[in-house]
Amino acid sequence: MSQSLPAFANAPVLVVGDVMLDRYWYGATSRISPEAPVPVVKVGQIEDRPGGAANVALNIAALGAPVKLLGVTGADEAASALTERLNSVGVETHFQVCTEQPTIVKLRVMSRHQQLLRMDFEEPFATDQAAFLAATETLLQGVKVLILSDYGKGAVANHQALIQAAKQQGVAVLVDPKGTDFSIYQGATLLTPNLAEFEAIVGPCQDEHQLVAKGAELMQALDLEALLVTRGEQGMTLLRPQLPALHLPAKAREVFDVTGAGDTVISTLAAALAAGESLPKAMVLANIAAGIVVAKLGTATVSAPELRRALQRENGAGRGVLSLQQLQAAVEDAKAQGEKVVFTNGCFDILHAGHVTYLEQARAQGDRLVVAINGDASVTRLKGPGRPINAVDRRMAVLAGLGAVDWVVSFNEDTPENLLRLLKPDVLVKGGDYAVDQVVGAEIVRANGGEVKVLGLVENSSTTAIVEKIRAE
């Protein structure tokens, strides 16, 4: 299904759960220890990343959605590192501090992009559940979706009280479940177990029919509105009462590290639902986001520009003919990647060698070339009766097939000035004998910090001359 990126900026989410710090020690290995048959790692870099519920919140912030995070930490350096990292990207943190216990830390020793060792520093927290519930009720105000990110570390203990508090305020509850007792999540809106977690509850599923049937039974038993089973290389399956199962294949082109993939799925789902997307469309976004994140090393996030570019590929908008909305998103992302966007326009009624040479020269002025072509009515006004020879859709298709052209869009006005105001290209290119100041839209591009260039035309190449020759014969 074709879709655009939701308005994540208007999608507030609350994450409640077990926060932890994922710490990475990177180093080279060149010898085996004389003390034991293990590699010696010379640590050269240390990196801290929010993990657990904190990674879920970080994923939501990366999409540009407002997010609050409630969890439990110790009173230590790891808690300070978590708070600083999360606040720096806009996550609103609310931590219940337990002075008797340390913040949960998972330390990974890495070499040559491989994990050699993981050490966990953790003890289940004895959370003040009354205070935790009161904080949740306060933070739910103004929120559209609540995520319970339950890793079984003690932060989330009174699940039913939290779920009911959200439901009383009309807030959807999404749960990333853990353990072998899913009854504690009774009444939640949606659960997102992976296949192993799902089968640990309902038993092995020999085929799709069994998975769907057992999922339906689980939804009825737990009074769920939906169940999303993530299935690794088999994609994910969405189950809803009285509706057909919806299955999406995995989108990962290359699986490098599955760490945190579940966090990315539930965070993208929550942000999309909070932005007003339907559950199937939110699932599509989550599936694409999961395919992006598993190609990254370690606990990672997916940004809104990354997700938008992936959506463009899904919608066939990587190159070629685009709608204005698609083109705006494509240009925005190209600029975000530091690419220089070149813009040119014309009728391009009968494509000839002069056009091809000119477009290649235009493409050489930057990294991306947008070609805007006049609609049919506009061409008639400019060129007279009998023109265009080729309808706009055919002219666009031919231009889109040229290697020099990235994106093609049409406009119905006689000039592309409105397009230039919307797209704000870095370079406006025109061919002919114009002075730069005579190029239509030059002042618009310059006002936005761009430049205007006039390129020469190939002699003896003219659409009008070709048309007249054909008619004469």
Of the three residues 315, 342, 361, the one that is the final residue of a domain is 315
The reply to whether 150 falls in a domain is yes
Please state, in angstroms and rounded to a whole number, the distance separating the CA atoms of residues 46 and 50. Answer: 14
The helix (run of H) or strand (run of E) holding residue 40 is strand 39-52
Looking at the predicted structure, is the pLDDT value of residue 330 above 70? Answer: yes
Same domain, 51 and 128: yes
pLDDT of residue 256: 44
423 inside domain: yes
Of the candidates 12, 63, 36, 2, which has an alpha carbon nearest to the alpha carbon of residue 311? 2
In a domain, 94, yes or no: yes
Q: Where are the beta strands (DSSP E) in 307-357?
A: 320-321, 341-346
CA-to-CA distance for 332 and 424, rounded, in angstroms?
Answer: 9
Same domain, 231 and 350: no
> How much is the pLDDT for 459?
55
On whether 197 is known to bind a ligand per the annotation, the reply is yes
pLDDT for residue 257: 45
375 lies in the same domain as 233: no
| Domain count across the chain | 2
Question: What phi, psi does 4 have (nearest 5°)?
Answer: -110, 175
Q: Give the integer Cα–Cα distance in Å for 360 and 350.
A: 17
How many Å apart are CA 148 and CA 222, to the nearest integer? 16
pLDDT in tens, 182-213: 999 999 999 999 999 999 999 999 888 899 99
Last residue of a domain, one of 315, 349, 365: 315
Active-site residue identified among 18, 22, 176, 263? 263
Instruction: Name the H helices within 350-427.
Output: 353-363, 376-383, 392-400, 417-423
> Are residues 255 and 376 located together in one domain of the fold?
no
CA–CA dist 111, 114 (Å, integer): 5
196 is in an annotated binding site: yes
| Domain span holding position 355 | 320-472
Tell me 242's DSSP state.
T
Helix (H) or strand (E) holding 198: helix 195-202
Residues 306 and 401 in one domain: no
The residue among 315, 344, 373 that closes a domain is 315
Shared domain check, 468 and 391 = yes
CATH number where 303 lies = 3.40.1190.20
263 catalytic per annotation: yes
CA-to-CA distance for 219 and 245, rounded, in angstroms?
A: 13
Do 234 and 305 sit in the same domain of this protein?
yes
Token digits of residue 15: 């994450």
Q: What pTM was computed for the model? A: 0.69
Percent of all residues in the chain with a pLDDT value above 70, rounded to a whole number: 90
Task: Evaluate whether 54 touches 87 at the Cβ level (below 8 Å).
Answer: no
Peptide bond into 388 cis (omega under 30): yes
Q: In this structure, is residue 1 part of a structural domain?
A: no
Structure tokens at 407: 């994106």
Q: Are residues 282 and 362 in the same domain?
A: no
Give me the CATH number covering residue 412: 3.40.50.620
Count of beta carbons in the 10 Å neighbourhood of residue 255: 13
Residue 265 counted as domain residue: yes
198 and 336 assigned to the same domain: no
Within-domain flag for 297: yes
pLDDT tens-place string over residues 86-106? 999 999 999 999 988 899 999
Q: What three-state secondary structure class fits 190?
A: strand
Does 141 map to a domain? yes
Q: Return the sign of the alpha-carbon dihedral for residues 70, 71, 77, 82.
A: negative
174 and 69, same structural domain? yes
133 is in an annotated binding site: no
In a domain, 12, yes or no: yes
Residue range 344-403, pLDDT digits in tens: 999 998 888 888 889 999 999 999 999 999 999 999 998 888 888 899 999 999 998 888
Is 194 within any annotated ligand binding site? yes
Asked if 268 and 304 count as a contact pair (C-beta separation under 8 A), the reply is no
Q: Same domain, yes or no, for 380 and 253? A: no
Residues 302, 366, single domain; the answer is no
For 201-251, where are the E strands, in sequence order? 226-230, 236-239, 246-248
